[in-house]
Amino acid sequence: MGISLSPMEKTASELAQLLGGTVDGNPDATVGKLGKIEDASSGEITFLANDKYEKFIYDCGASIAVVSNDFNPSSELPSTLTLIRVEDAYGAFAKLLQAYDKINKRSTGIHPSAVIHESASIGDGCHIGAGVVVEEGAIIGDRSEIRSSCLIGRNATLGSNCLLFSGVRILDNCKVGDQCTIQSNTVIGSEGFGFAPKEDGSYEKVPQTGNVIIKNGCDIGANCTIDRATLGSTVIEKGCKLDNLIQVAHNVVIGEKTVIAAQTGIAGSTEIGKNCLIGGQVGFVGHVKIADGTKIGAKTGVSKNITTPDTMIQGIPAMPIREYQKFQVGLRSLVRQFFKDKK
């Protein structure tokens, strides 16, 4: 089942104009929903950006498909299918999805069940959903959308044109910049994991008195925890993209435009450079520094500084990718030889 594109149907010619493409087929073909190429049906628009999915287009039930300019069908296409040819099919469909998001933006206004402190500041054109709590001294910028059951803590700041999905917590004194999206149930400014050992073997909690600063244009996934600093700030620089289920500990700094995949854990006071690509389930020990442009493969354990920019590393412990690949080949060879000797 597709998802609704808009209250009004769009023609192929209108969509081609939006996407900067050309129509190959019926310019008056109309669609009102988005659909996957595997099971799209009449009245839906889909896209083909990966050769692995080309087989589905020859039986496609969609009314319109977005394809690249160089797509050359190897078999006959359905007579009911109109193509919109574009330079970049994936990028064009992403643009279409962005348009869908705008259509589905909540209307402005404050739900009657929201609780907003009299000293809080709410910008123009905002949506404040059901059960939202905005505490003393909080500031929310213009045109931001805060969906149900979110919390904006005391003296916290949320910039303009932001989107918070249900259940997000931005805790006291934390700051989120403009044009940021934070997915459901993420906590910004949670208490860091700081305990001082005592002579009797127990532990005393170390207060975390700092905050979190997330700069403009960041996307944070669902169920992430970004801990406030012990002193100073935990900082996510502009343009960073964090997947779901990521732990960012106290006083971490993540450089601008760095992308981090799910289930990564970053221990305290680690500094990650800009334009890094970090795979899923990567673990960082505390107090390490990662150079700009570093690429880290999934499940890598980073236990020391990476000082050379644009390095690709993987493994436990982390090592240069070529060295890791040679290690894996040698290990497999040893295992095969071991079992061969056992026979």
CATH number at residue 43: 3.40.1390.10
Q: What is the mean pLDDT of residues 172-197?
A: 95
Q: Give the pLDDT score at 1.
A: 46
Beta strands 82-86 and 22-24 are antiparallel
Q: Indicate which residues carry an active-site annotation.
A: 250
Taking 60 as the threshold, does the pLDDT of residue 6 lie above it? Answer: no
Same domain, 161 and 81: no
**Same-domain status, 97 and 206:** no
Is the same domain home to 154 and 267? yes
Looking at the structure, tell me whether residues 117 and 53 fall in a common domain: no
Q: Which of 47, 69, 103 is the last residue of a domain?
A: 103
Per-residue confidence band for 28, with pLDDT thresholds at 50, 70 and 90: very high
pLDDT digits (tens, 9 = 90+) for 274-285: 999 999 999 999
Bond from prior residue into 78 cis (ω within 30 degrees of 0): no
> Is 126 among the domain residues?
yes
Which of 44, 70, 103 is the endpoint of a domain? 103
What order of strands is seen across the sheet that includes strand 22-24? Answer: 3-4, 33-34, 44-47, 64-68, 82-86, 22-24
Beta bridge partners, 331, equal none
Place of tokens 């996934």: 221
> Is residue 25 scored above 60 in pLDDT?
yes
* Residue 186 lies inside a defined structural domain of this protein: yes
Could you tell me if 313 and 197 lie in one domain? Answer: yes
In a domain, 96, yes or no: yes
Listed in sequence order, the residues at least 6 apart from 338 whose beta carbon sits closer than 8 Å to its beta carbon are none
Return d(Cα 209, Cα 250) in angstroms, integer.
10
Tokens for 334, please give them: 């040893």
pLDDT of residue 338: 77
Query: In this structure, what CATH number is given to the domain that contains residue 222?
Result: 2.160.10.10
My answer on whether 25 and 128 are in the same domain is no
Residues 95 and 242 occupy one common structural domain: no
Mark whether 141 and 280 lie in a shared domain. yes
Residue 136 backbone phi and psi in degrees, to 5: -55, 130
Q: Which residues contact 178 (CB under 8 A, 6 or more apart)?
A: 141, 159, 160, 161, 162, 216, 217
Number of domains in the chain: 2
In the predicted structure, residue 337 carries a pLDDT above the cut 90: no
Residue 7 in this model has a pLDDT that exceeds 70: no
In this structure, the answer to whether residues 95 and 123 fall within a common structural domain is no
pLDDT of the residue at 210: 96
Residue 341 phi, psi (nearest 5) = -70, -25
Host domain of residue 47: 3-103
For strands 312-314 and 295-296, give the pairing.
parallel
Same domain? 209 vs 249: yes
Write the DSSP assignment of 91-150 as a string of letters. Answer: HHHHHHHHHHHHHTPPPSEE-TT-EE-TT-EE-TT-EE-TT-EE-TT-EE-TT-EE-TT-
Q: Are residues 176 and 299 in the same domain?
A: yes
> Which one of 60, 87, 103 terminates a domain?
103
pLDDT tens, residue by residue, 84-132: 999 999 999 898 888 877 777 788 999 999 999 999 999 999 999 999 9
In a domain, 67, yes or no: yes
Q: What is the C-alpha separation between 42 and 65, in angstroms, rounded?
A: 11
Q: What is the pTM of this model?
A: 0.83
Is residue 331 situated within a structural domain? no
Distance CA 103, CA 105 (A): 6
- pLDDT at residue 5 in the model: 52
| 244 and 126 inside one domain | yes
In this model, does residue 157 exceed pLDDT 90?
Answer: yes
Instruction: Band the pLDDT of 147: cuts 50, 70, 90.
Output: very high
Q: Is residue 201 part of a domain?
A: yes
Answer yes or no: is pLDDT of 212 > 60. Answer: yes
